[in-house]
C-alpha cells in the first residue's frame, strides 16, 4: 500500500471557540496548529481562515498571512478551501486560488449543510476548476454524496480537471451521505481506477472511517473542522492529538506515514 497521507483540517468555517477553546483562529494560532500537526505526522493542511472577529473569510490577505507563517515553520502541503462558508458567492470563495497554493478544494455539487445549503451549481464548479487550471493548482474533489463523483468525471470529459483525480469523501454532514462502512465502500467502488482518495468523517465517524481508510489503502483527514472531540464527552486538546491517534493506528496496521514530499509524489504535485 502507498504510505498514508494525513490531512489536517485545522479550523473550518463553522466550528467556534465556544465549542472547543483549543480551535486555532488567528493566522498565528493556525500556523502553530499546522506545525504541531505536521510534527505529529500530517503532510497536508486543509486551510480555512477567519477575520478579526473570528468569522470565516476568503480574504487573500489573511490566507497569505497564514500560508506564509505555515511555510516559515514547515514544508507541509497547503490546500486552501474554496468552500468557504455557506452563503458566500463563487467569486468570494475562489479568491485564495490566486495565491497559487499547491492544492485547493473543489466541491462538485450542491448539498444541504445542516440548516443551510452549500451551493455548488455547474457554473460555480466550472469557474473554480478553470481558475485552478489557470493558477496551476491541483484540485481535491470534495464529495458530500455519490452524485458529486459523476459531476467531477464530467469535468474531466470537458478538459477542466485532469486525471488521476484526488477525492475527499466528506461523510456524515447532515444533508449529505451518511458515514457507515457500506457508504465508504460504495464511494470507493465508484471512483475510477488510479484515482486517490481521503476520507473525512464528521464527529464520531472520524475515527471509524479513518480506521477503514488505513486498511483499504485510502488516506485520512482529521481536525477540528470535522470533529472537536477526542472521545465521547472529551474535547480534543489540539489538532495534533487527533493526528497522533491516526499515526498510532496506522503503525499497528503496518501502514507507514507519508512525509510532505512523499505525499506530493503520491498526489502528483510539483513542488
Ligand atoms: N464550510 C463548508 C460549507 C471546503 O472547504 O472546500 C464547506 C467546506 C468545504 O468546508
Ligand atoms: Zn473545509
Q: Is residue 19 part of a domain?
A: yes
Nearest CA, atom 8, ligand 1: 83
Measuring from each residue's beta carbon to the nearest atom of ligand 1, which residues come in under 6 Å?
12-14, 81-83, 85-86, 105, 107, 113, 118, 142
**Residues 33-53: pLDDT tens digits?**
999 999 999 999 999 999 999
- Residue 118 neighbours by CB distance under 10 Å: 22
**Residue 250 has which C-alpha cell?**
496506522
What is the per-residue pLDDT for 210?
98
Q: Is the pTM of this model over 0.95?
A: yes
Domain count, the chain: 1
C-alpha pair distances (Å), 240 with each of 10, 133, 163, 215: 9, 32, 32, 21
Q: Is residue 92 part of a domain?
A: yes
* Tens digits of pLDDT across the chain (271 residues): 999 999 999 999 999 999 999 999 999 999 999 999 999 999 999 999 999 999 999 999 999 999 999 999 999 999 999 999 999 999 999 999 999 999 999 999 999 999 999 999 999 999 999 999 999 999 999 999 999 999 999 999 999 999 999 999 999 999 999 999 999 999 999 999 999 999 999 999 999 999 999 999 999 999 999 999 999 999 999 999 999 999 999 999 999 999 999 999 999 998 7
Cis peptide before 89 (omega within 30 of 0): no
Q: Is residue 1 part of a domain?
A: no
CA of 253 to the centre of ligand 1 (A): 31
> Where residue 108 sits, what CATH number does that domain have?
3.20.20.70
Please give the number of the atom of ligand 1 that sits closest to the Cα of 170: 9
What is the per-residue pLDDT for 29?
98
Q: Is residue 56 part of a domain?
A: yes
End-to-end CA distance of the chain: 23
Can you give the residue range of the structural domain that contains 120? 6-267
118 phi and psi, to 5 degrees?
-90, 105
- SS3 call for 240: helix
What is the per-residue pLDDT for 119?
98
Nearest CA, atom 7, ligand 1: 83
Pocket test for ligand 1, best of 85, 97, 144 (most atoms within 8 A of CB): 85
Distance CA 133, CA 60 (A): 18
Q: Which residues of 195-226 are buried (b: 16+ CB within 10 A; e: fewer)?
A: bbbbbbbbeebbbbbbbbbbeeebbbbbbbbb
Q: Is residue 127 part of a domain?
A: yes
Amino acid at each position: 500500500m502507498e504510505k498514508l497521507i494525513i490531512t489536517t483540517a485545522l479550523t473550518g468555517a463553522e466550528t467556534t471557540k465556544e465549542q472547543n477553546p483549543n480551535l486555532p483562529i488567528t493566522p498565528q494560532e493556525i500556523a502553530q496548529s499546522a506545525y504541531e500537526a505536521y510534527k505529529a505526522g500530517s503532510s497536508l493542511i486543509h486551510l480555512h481562515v477567519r477575520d478579526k472577529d473570528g468569522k470565516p473569510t476568503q480574504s487573500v490577505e489573511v490566507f497569505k498571512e497564514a500560508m506564509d507563517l505555515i511555510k516559515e515553520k514547515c514544508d507541509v502541503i497547503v490546500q486552501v478551501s474554496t468552500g468557504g462558508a455557506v452563503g458566500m458567492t463563487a467569486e468570494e470563495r475562489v479568491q485564495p486560488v490566486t495565491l497559487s497554493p499547491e492544492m485547493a478544494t473543489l466541491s462538485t455539487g450542491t448539498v444541504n449543510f445542516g440548516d443551510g445549503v452549500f451551493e455548488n451549481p455547474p457554473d460555480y464548479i466550472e469557474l473554480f476548476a478553470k481558475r485552478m487550471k489557470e493558477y496551476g493548482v491541483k484540485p481535491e474533489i470534495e464529495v458530500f454524496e455519490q452524485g458529486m463523483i459523476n459531476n467531477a468525471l464530467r469535468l474531466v470529459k470537458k478538459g477542466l480537471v485532469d486525471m488521476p483525480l484526488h477525492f475527499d469523501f466528506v461523510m456524515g454532514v447532515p444533508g449529505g451521505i451518511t458515514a457507515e462502512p457500506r457508504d465508504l465502500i460504495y464511494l470507493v467502488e465508484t471512483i475510477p481506477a488510479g484515482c486517490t482518495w481521503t476520507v473525512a468523517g464528521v464527529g464520531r465517524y472520524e475515527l471509524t472511517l479513518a480506521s477503514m481508510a488505513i486498511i483499504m489503502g485510502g488516506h485520512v483527514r482529521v481536525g477540528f473542522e470535522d470533529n472537536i472531540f477526542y472521545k465521547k464527552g472529551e474535547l480534543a486538546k489540539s489538532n495534533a492529538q487527533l493526528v497522533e491517534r491516526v499515526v498510532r493506528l496506522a503503525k499497528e496496521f503496518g501502514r507507514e506515514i507519508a512525509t510532505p514530499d512523499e505525499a506530493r509524489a503520491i498526489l502528483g504535485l510539483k513542488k
